[in-house]
Structure 1
Amino acid sequence: MPSQPQSDATAQSGHDTSADAAPSPAAKPVVGSALTIVLMATIALAMKGLLAKFVYATGMTVDGLLLLRFMIAMPFFWLGVYLFGKSRPGERKMKPVDIGWGALYGGLFFAAALFDFTAVSLIDVTVSRIVLFTFPAVVMILEVIHKRRLPPVRQVICFVITYVGLMLVLAPDGVGAVSDDLWVGAAWAFGSALTYALYLYFGQRMITVIGSMHFAALINTMAGICMIIYQLIMQRPLNLNVDGVLWTAAISMFCTVIPFFLLYEGIRRIGATQASLISLSGPAMTFFAAWMFLGEVLTIEQFFGFVVVTLGVASLKNKVTLSGLGRLLARPFASGGKP
């Protein structure tokens, strides 16, 4: 496969220059609006696992949900490109080399989606979200490996804190008390975190080359093709039904098409590393929604683990203080929502 297309030096170091460097006063409104965009996407994506539970309650399978989700979302992604992608800054027509890299990243995204929805079918939404939430830590590890440099001591401490919290969530009463189903479900969720981190970290450069809208349409199309091939090989039951189709349509539009356009646009502006940090609010939103609509609850030990994971991930790029966490979440609103 030919080498991945790259933009200028700024694009090649996307998250380094845009996420880590101090923005100039003129750039603050752009950064603020980008963080708002990513936060809105995070809210929508946080509802995905919750709605999936309603789909499974109708009898539809994971394969049925995924296949239908990609098929419904695919034309709307390309409609968005046709209506809005031609005149947007940074958007360009795709070349053959883009198709090749899109197939690779689309395959990673398909794997992440398959692992994620399988995890949700096996364990509570809240627990699966907390495990998946470790993907920013994986993104940081990939950054260390990719740049061939040892991480700062503070980041090592944050990794340890994050996964100690994760073990508190999975095994509050000790490892021996964890059921096999929970371990299996958690393994699927972590597999999703790993593949999603790979796709997000390495795919961000392609966003700067072809634009966020073209990238979203291309990746989801390739993931949909992967799903079709997977289904033809596995030939598993889909169990399609009217109620399940309606819930899946909601997932496709409100938890896929709209948030993906928002997320990729945010990544185009501020990079994957910074964008992944905003996702720290996702598990909290999912926890609240799962408690309200599904009756899921965490034990005191699990809730403490949830807090530890959240602070650990937040501290990967920010010093370990609650005030720092508050400033991060407040940044999207600092510019008064100006575009």
Structure 2
Amino acid sequence: MSTSPQVQPVGSALTLVLLSTAAFAMKGLLAKYVYATGMTVDGLLLLRFLIAMPFFWVGVYMFGKHRPGERKMVPVDILWGALYGGMFFAAALFDFTAVSIIEVTVSRIVLFTYPAVVLILECLHKRRFPPLRQVICFVITYAGLVLVLAPDGINEVSDNLWIGAFWAFASALTYAAYLYFGQRMISVIGSMHFAALVNTMAGISMVIYELIVRKPLNFNLDGVLWTAGISIFCTVIPFFLLYEGIRRIGATQAALISLSGPAMTFFAAWLLLGEVLTVPQLIGFAVVVVGVASIKNGVTMAGLGRLLSRPYFSNGLKSSGQSDPVAKPSRSENMDT
């Protein structure tokens, strides 16, 4: 008697990715509470990396040994990990600096444009001009970003907003470079080993940076507790939720669900911090989401429908022993650690 293969429940996979997206979206908002206690950006980052570091290695020990693509690291991996860890540290430093200067919602929208930067890096690296569709998506994305940053005109933008947007874009640029060039290493040692190694090296980079600049940390009990929450609930746990979701439904659909992240941040910032976007900024926000969605997934209305229906369609095919004509292999996994 033959038994049918066990099918992972699609609803639970979607829930896992949605929960991870919501947790990642809360990271910048909770940072505002840390800064309100008097703790500095440097203090938050140092604690965040140091607290998260052991949890990632526990995850590797418990879940990473038998995952497809995961292997033990060799000395050369440490060197590459140091490079990517330094880039990840810089991206995090720029990101949390931006959050300390401007509203969480605006900084998230600027950072959210990093797939457009990945597009530029890929074209420069491969020395080719992007297809017209991608150029249009790129223009749409940054046209929406201009609306978000300057709804009343360029001349009305405050100096603080320019400075905060600069740091947010610097984070998007560094994060895009880290993802684009790091994806090869992910395919070599596996996503869990890569995340643990990069976070460890980022933590070491943070320690070295602090020893050099010697900026105040302003540790206090409330700030430490908020930072511990960011480290565990907005970094480690959502990472494991995201990759379990990716394992079940694939990176393409997980990336589609992650497009809801800025909207979650916007709602939470409005509810908890009283941040409000103007009508032109809301239009710009919608334009940015559409542009980024198109860059990341080549989304059309018909294509979006096929992607969202794919898990249910796939389950039906699995039960009948047929193949899924919609499914396509994914080159890399979406990371936000």
Give me the TM-score of the superposition, normalised by structure 1: 0.83
Q: Distance in 2 between matches of 1:152 and 1:32?
A: 35
Change (3 A) 1:222 1:318: closer
For the 8 Å contact 1:36–1:333, the answer to whether it is kept is no
Q: 2:101 aligns with which of 122, 138, 148?
A: 122
- Which of 190, 199, 209 is the equivalent residue of 1:220? 199
Q: Which has the larger radius of gyration?
A: 2
**Residues 32-181 of structure 1 mapped to structure 2, 5 A cutoff:** 38-181=17-160
Deviation at 1:277, TM superposition (A): 5.3
Partner of 2:213: 234
How much has 1:299 moved relative to structure 2?
0.3
The residue number in structure 2 matching 1:203 is 182
**Which of the numbers 278, 292, 306 marks the counterpart of 1:299?**
278
1:286 corresponds in structure 2 to 265
Contact 1:78 1:217 in 2 (8 A): yes
Give yes or no for contact 2:115–2:296 (8 Å, CA) kept in 1: no
Structure 2 stretches lacking a partner, 5+ long: 319-337
Q: What's the offset of the Cα at 1:88?
A: 2.3
Which one of 222, 242, 253 corresponds to residue 232 of structure 2? 253
Work out the CA distance in 2 between the residues paired with 1:317 and 1:329: 15
C-alpha separation in 2, matches of 1:92 and 1:299: 49
Q: 8 Å contact 1:136–1:276 — kept in the other structure? A: no
> Where in structure 1 are there 5+ consecutive unaligned residues?
1-25
Cα 1:141/1:210, change in 2 over 3 Å: same
The answer to whether the Cα contact below 8 Å between 1:36 and 1:332 also exists between their aligned partners in 2 is: no
Aligned to 2:326: none
Instruction: Tell me, yes or no, if the aligned pair for 1:91 and 1:210 is still in contact at 8 Å.
Output: yes
Out of 323-332 and 190-199, give the one that drifted further.
323-332
Residues 173 and 156 from structure 1, CA distance in 2 versus in 1: closer, same or farther, beyond 3 angstroms? same
Deviation at 1:144, TM superposition (A): 2.2
Give me the whole-angstrom Cα distance separating, in 1, the residues matched to 2:161 and 2:97: 12
Greater shift in the superposed pair: 262-271 or 119-128: 262-271
CA apart distance, 1:327: 5.4
Aligned residues of 2:117 and 2:173 also touching (Cα < 8 A): yes
CA distance in 1, matches of 2:91, 2:311: 28
Contact kept, 8 Å, 1:42 with 1:279, in 2: the verdict is yes
C-alpha displacement of 1:53: 0.7
Equivalent residue, structure 2, for 1:9:
none
Distance change in 2, residues 1:284/1:168 (3 Å): same
Match of 1:5 in 2: none
Cα RMSD for the two superposed structures:
2.9
> What's the CA shift string for 1:282-322, capped at 9, x where partnerless?
11110011011111000001001001111111122555645
**Number of matched pairs:** 311
Say whether the 8 Å CA contact 1:159–1:312 is kept in structure 2. Answer: yes
The CA distance in 2 between the partners of 1:102 and 1:244, in whole Å, is: 29
The change in CA–CA distance for 1:112 and 1:141 in structure 2 (over 3 A counts) is same
Contact conserved, 1:130 with 1:306, CA < 8 A, in 2?
A: yes
